[in-house]
Amino acid sequence: MLSNTADSVRASLNRRGRWKIGEIAFWLVAASTLFLLPERHLILNEIAIIGLFALSLDLILGYAGIVSLGHAAFFGLGAYAAGILARDGFADPLLGLGVAAIAAAVLGFVTSFLVLRGSDLTKLMVTLGVALVLGEIANQASWLTGGADGLQGIAMGPILGLFEFDIFGTTAYTYSLVVTFLLFVVARRIVVSPYGLSLRSIRDNALRARAVGIPVNRRLVAIYTLSAAYAGVAGALLAQTTQFVSLDVLAFHRSADVMLVLVIGGVGYLYGGLIGAIIFKVLQDVISAWTPQYWQFWIGLILVLIVLAGRERLTERVRALWPRSRGRTVDRPQPLTTTPAREV
Amino acid sequence: MTPALETKGLIKRFGGLVATDNVTFRLEQGARHALIGPNGAGKTTFINLLTGVIKPTTGQIILQGEDITGLRPELRVQRGLARTFQINQLFPAMTPLETLGLAVSERMGGGRDWWRVIGSKTAIVDEIVEIAQRFRLTDVLDERTSKLAYGKQRLLEIAVAFACRPRVLLLDEPAAGVPEAERHELLATVAALPRDVSVLLIEHDMDLVFSFADRISVLVNGALFTEGTVEEVSTDPKVRAVYLGESVDE
């Protein structure tokens, strides 16, 4: 009896970490687009980058319940860090990624102390404010960033000294996809770890989380910092693969878009950002080809419908048809829970 | 012997209101101590002071001989002071298994582990099983907490606190709202808590107090009104007057 229970407990706990068939299929399909859709690599590259950016938002929103309307601050900082580095002669892409990640992580760590106090509304406003401040700094410091003209003259070296970027975006897409995949694997590991479990517990009930001895604020600072680093890497990928950075990377619509992407794809299961990015970009592509001036109208309408129809319900229905994939994503309550994380 | 938990001259003022009025209190090692008092007597404030949710205006709180007055709540838990809540504070979207796994792994310092899954550690698994059996949760371990029967949720509420391996356990009305059919199971589990855990029970239900406690403190208007054994307190006419009233008079 006792060993039986122990075995089932162990199995149950370990199951959380195991890869499902659907997940493996997802990444196989993603990899196959390298060969099957050679003429679409430019847009696929963008999808991978936005997917990674949305994944970084999911880490704080879906797993820790921290809302943000200024996630572009980290994305933009990463983009500028990587861009400026390349312009000034440090052309190695991986070096750029590393520097961008560190720069964004430092900003994330510092601002986390501002963000993690107060209500959801306070968080929205503080994150928004941080992004605005950063955007204006980038605008004013044109000697460094090129200001409104954008950062020109980025010349990337080959990746690992082997793979030159090409005009079809094949190297770029491969690069972005591999980086996104590797960071996804790390994030996936993190969210099923005891640390990840503690984040979910904070999101669900911070009062109780504290009462089982979890240092709530420290955990939130850590995930906010990590999420910032991820966003920084996404920004760096954009700068490196498009070889251009403009103020657009820090703009409000970046932060809003990534939130939209995550809402479309669903929060709290990591794939939401990736799936949302695919849907968002494909919709944008299709609708803007059809009606170039009014595509945002349709995106807006679709967003309203998704939220009203309740994506939860839609996905539940799909999941009911697919019993194998159940279990991992069922643990998802309302995404916007409050985390009263005071006393930093 | 050092008491398990002690307060000295504890005072908490909210503006002009004295919510906790110079409380000097001892919880002995292994005690089964009940804290009773009419509504508004300051029981909740007292608990919040003990657990560190609010800071006292003056006074000291000492856990196992160590002054914890200035410690943050989570550090008090790590030093062995756990509590349950009068209204369930659980993780609705998690299973009891995840909840207990979380509490146990946090206590073992696993909360900083961001690379492995919990199930890979035998010590954690064994302890989860032991706690689940003690609190009769083995058959519902994989269900969503929000779907559990209320009595089971109540058991989980205590089990989570117990999973922190407390030296001192504060039970805030553990049987509140539990339907009669599930009550017996809950009371039996509470009665079977190991003696190396000192328990402070905050309770309205006099049956539970009399069956469980060996000492009773009465709190009135934020101050300790009286303290004694169950017999002393239950026969004290002053206590009857301020609090027990008809509930003892039969």
pLDDT digits over A115-152, tens only? 888 888 999 999 999 999 999 999 999 888 888 888 98
Q: What pLDDT is attached to residue B111?
A: 67
Phi and psi torsions of A99, nearest 5°: -65, -45
CB contact under 8 A, B93 and A198: no
Query: Is residue B188 over pLDDT 60?
Result: yes
Q: What are phi and psi of B39, to 5 degrees?
A: -55, 140
* Helix, strand or coil, per DSSP, at residue B154: helix
Q: Helix (H, G, I), strand (E, B), or coil: what is residue B180? A: helix
CA distance A298 to A313: 22
Instruction: State which residue of chain A sits closest to B132, comparing Cα positions.
Output: A5
**Residue A328 confidence (pLDDT) above 60:** no
**Cβ neighbours of B74 in A, within 8 Å:** 210, 213-216
End-to-end Cα separation, chain A, in angstroms: 45
The partner residues of B6 in beta bridges, in order of sequence, read B26, B62
- List the single best residue of B114, B144, B147 to mutate versus A (max A Cβ within 10 A): B114
Whether the model pTM is above 0.90: no
**In this structure, are residues B159 and B137 in contact, taking their beta carbons and an 8 Å threshold?**
yes
Nearest CA in chain B to A9: B125
- Are A194 and B77 a contacting pair at CB < 8 A? no
**Residue written as tokens 């299973």?**
B95
Range with lowest mean pLDDT among A151-155, A323-327, B100-104, B227-231: A323-327
Across the interface, whether the CB atoms of B78 and A13 are under 8 A apart is answered no
Q: How many CB atoms are located within 10 Å of the residue A4 CB?
A: 10
What is the predicted pLDDT for the residue at B117? 75
Dihedrals phi, psi of A214, to nearest 5 degrees: -85, 125
Which of B88, B117, B171 to probe by mutation at the A interface, max A CB count within 10 Å?
A: B117
Contact between residue B78 and residue A213 where contact means Cβ atoms under 8 Å apart: yes
Torsion of CA A93, A98, A104, A105, to 10 degrees: 160
What span, in angstroms and rounded, lies between the C-alpha atoms of B159 and B164? 9
Residues of B in contact with A196 (CB under 8 A): 114
Contact (CB<8Å) B78/A213: yes
Pairing of strands B198-202, B32-36: parallel
Greater confidence (B245 vs A271) lies with A271
pLDDT score of B242 more than 90: no
* Chain B CA closest to residue A186: B115
Mean pLDDT score across all residues of chain B: 88
| Residue of chain A whose Cα is closest to the Cα of B144 | A331
- Chain B residues near residue A14 by CB distance under 8 angstroms: 117, 119-120
pLDDT of residue A340: 39
A160 near B CB under 8 A? no
Segment B62-99, tens digit of pLDDT: 999 999 998 999 999 999 999 999 899 999 989 999 99
Looking at this predicted complex, what is its ipTM? 0.87
Tell me the β-bridge partners of B17. Answer: B14
Q: What is the pLDDT of residue A330?
A: 40
User: How many Å apart are CA A281 and CA A262, to the nearest integer?
Assistant: 12
Query: CB A212 to CB B133 under 8 A?
Result: no
- The whole domain housing B206 covers 5-249
The reply to whether A219 touches chain B by the CB within 8 Å rule is yes
Put simply, the answer to whether A195 touches B77 (Cβ < 8 Å) is no
CB–CB contact B83 A211 (8 Å): yes
Please list every residue in chain B whose beta carbon sits closer than 8 Å to the beta carbon of residue A190. 114-115
Q: Which residues 185-214 of A have a C-beta within 8 angstroms of B?
A: 189-190, 192-198, 200-201, 204-205, 207-208, 210-214
Give me the DSSP letters along A279-298: HHHHHHHHHHHH-TTTHHHH
Q: Tell me the per-residue pLDDT of B123-156, one tens digit each, with 9 for 90 and over.
A: 888 899 999 999 999 989 889 999 999 989 999 9
Number of domains in chain B: 1
A331 shares contact with chain B (CB less than 8 Å): yes
CATH architecture, domain A38-325: Orthogonal Bundle (1.10)
Please indicate whether, in this complex, the C-beta atoms of A195 and B111 are within 8 angstroms of each other: yes
Q: What is the pLDDT of residue B247?
A: 47
Q: Which residue has the higher pLDDT, A109 or A9?
A: A109
- What is the model's pLDDT at position B109? 76
